[in-house]
Structure 1
């Protein structure tokens, strides 16, 4: 079979599970990805994809989000690679899944939830805004919608990285006023640029 035929077979919803499981070891990443995400596949295929240990296949399975069964979801959380959980963080709408991701031991998983998923409820956004890692708090600062009091809190964050992302994402006069005298030169210059003022 040609590569195009293998890609089509891996994506076809009526392809049998045993064929999809074989395709999970194909030389082409696109074929492997299609097989892992095949919409007609059973849990056996998803679990086989995770069992390969391939981080890309873990990401492919995690990207299925709320469509995953509870069995496969648990396997994503138990997987040694974080990639599946990172993808879950981008798209999961289920409250319980979001809570688990917000408490994940890997900062990149928490950051993925904080910065990529606009469906996260406010209480979890606030939890992530108080995360011990600046990278996670910076992802919160990048969110499109934030309560005004949280914007003010982030404007006084101990990390210049967080404050910079806040002014970069929200280049409004209100936020710039909060940061125009920031102790960090880069943040201060960005804020003063928004205000039309010269840098120091």
Structure 2
């Protein structure tokens, strides 16, 4: 498993990583970061008890999303578009306070419209954003067999690349905006067609 790279040449232990959303997929992804050498990981979940496995593995837990805004990088793994908008743009969200993370990496499968709204708000705050939806379920992530196609500024991709490569076996940069969402939808459609054909 590849160890995470640092941002701007700092030591890995100095990089503050936030993780928002610790369902099955988010927990599997964040666990790979911890096993890969990330030592400064703070996690938040709406249901706090769902972060217990990550805390046991060495992560710190915060009580509010606002406590993640001072992180260098924050990953989000939420269920749907309204959830992403809520945790980023609503009062108390990642992009709604006095501080904001340097880099936001959204690994959720959400709509292009929702991602565009978050990307615009992030830009207004000086936060770079990567859209990096995951192809593969929690079991595949845990086994190191998932894939991530990311889109956003190339500099942001390079800053997050080491972390993404710790999480997934295949990591590809495909564009500067929301191209990754289209790739993920096409991938899901292809899998559906193949499954139907085999059935």
TM-score of the superposed pair, with normalisation by structure 2: 0.29
> Which structure shows the bigger proportion of residues in helix conformation?
1
Rg larger for: 1
Instruction: From the two aligned structures, give the one with the greater strand fraction.
Output: 2
Q: Tell me which of the two structures has the higher relative contact order, counting C-alpha pairs closer than 8 angstroms and 6 or more residues apart.
A: 2
Q: TM-score, normalised by structure 1?
A: 0.29
